[in-house]
Amino acid sequence: MSRASKPYTLARLNDITLGSFSNVPSSETLNHLVRYLSTWSGSDKFFTLIQYTIKLIVPFLHWRARLQHRAGIRKDASSHAAPSLASFASIVSDAKMLGRFWGLLPIFQWMISMERNPPPTRTLHTIERLQGWSMLGFYPLEHLYYLRAHNLIPASIPSLSAILGRSSKRISLNENKLILWSCRFWLLYIVLQFAHLREDRKLLLARQRSLRKGKGFSAEDKQDLRQRWDSLLNELVANAANLPLALHWSLESGIFTNDIWVTMFSLINGIAAFRGGWRATALPSVKAVASPEPSNATDTVDETKYQ
């Protein structure tokens, strides 16, 4: 009896229905996506893309609704889908900030590792030390802000002298000041990252000159250099997009009057950060060799905390 004329037994029906995924080919892209999104940094970058893409779509939907209303195509001048999308973006923002509550753990891990395996130059070592300490200021202040914004902690806490019974003085936890100072530490990190990238460029140029002087400048070496330059440029774009955001959120009055600029810079950073992380988690055979990255802890900060 041929394969085509086999009777539809219970086992065969089981294979055809429940085992239908046997016909789906394996995918390295899917494996890569699972590998990347299984990391804290990868999921944070992915949700950043989702959040700011939605925040860019929302004003477009309102604009389109107004145009259609003027043209007589629709009765209502506002979009019905936009409020739901905006609400979802807000949920994503809140979830990202909550997810950063264990952000100090990789910072501690990075700073300990840095002292045992220091960067190649003293300048880079100093820069990364300062960046690590800036994150030790950023995270606790952001966590306190989040807890205060959700009324999970009181507006003031006892001072050390009050705990010791020497006075009744309390420390005020003003959420606006907490987030301002948190972002000022983030701004310090970003400024230091420009100095870090400058040192990375010097090292990369030195490596490039050394390889070109040698007799064995192979195709693999050329590919390695291209990947390193690409990683350096990608990091520069991400950091440059973060700079105006950090400046905006570090000042009480901000620097932008239209939130579209905040969304645009955040989306640019999100795309660059996701791209860099995607390449960094590729398998060794296709993995881009990235320039040293001090920390992926603060790819972007959510502007919803200031609204």
Per-residue pLDDT tens over the stretch 171-219: 888 999 999 999 999 999 999 999 999 999 999 999 988 888 876 677 7
pLDDT band at 161 (very low <50, low <70, confident <90, very high): confident
Q: What beta strand segments (E) does 108-266 contain? A: 156-158, 170-172
Output the pLDDT for position 190: 97
Q: What SS3 class is residue 155?
A: coil
- Most confident residue range from 28-32, 125-129, 162-166: 125-129
pLDDT band at 109 (very low <50, low <70, confident <90, very high): very high
Output the pLDDT for position 107: 93
The answer, yes or no, to whether residue 287 has pLDDT greater than 90, is no
The answer, yes or no, to whether residue 296 has pLDDT greater than 60, is no
Distance, CA of 131 to CA of 128 (rounded, Å): 5
More confident residue, 281 or 169: 281
Segment 94-120 mean pLDDT: 93
pTM for this structure? Answer: 0.84
**Which of 55-64, 91-100, 271-280, 282-291 comes out lowest in average pLDDT?**
282-291
| 51-99: pLDDT as tens digits | 999 999 999 999 999 998 888 888 888 888 999 999 999 999 999 999 8
Mean pLDDT of the chain: 86
Q: What amino acid occupies position 140? A: P
More confident residue, 167 or 194: 194
Burial class (CB in 10 A: 0-12, 13-18, 19+), 217: middle
What are the residue ranges spanned by the domains of the chain? 30-100+182-306
Closest CA to 280 of 268, 291, 271, 266: 291
Distance, CA of 42 to CA of 278 (rounded, Å): 8
CA distances from residue 113 to 87, 129, 146, 295 in whole angstroms, order as listed: 40, 11, 29, 12
Distance, CA of 100 to CA of 287 (rounded, Å): 27
The answer, yes or no, to whether residue 43 has pLDDT greater than 70, is yes
**Which of 161-170, 186-195, 239-248, 255-264 comes out lowest in average pLDDT?**
161-170
All residues at 6 or more sequence positions from 142 whose CB lies less than 8 Å from its CB, including other chains: 97, 100, 178, 179, 182, 301
Closest CA to 130 of 195, 183, 40: 195
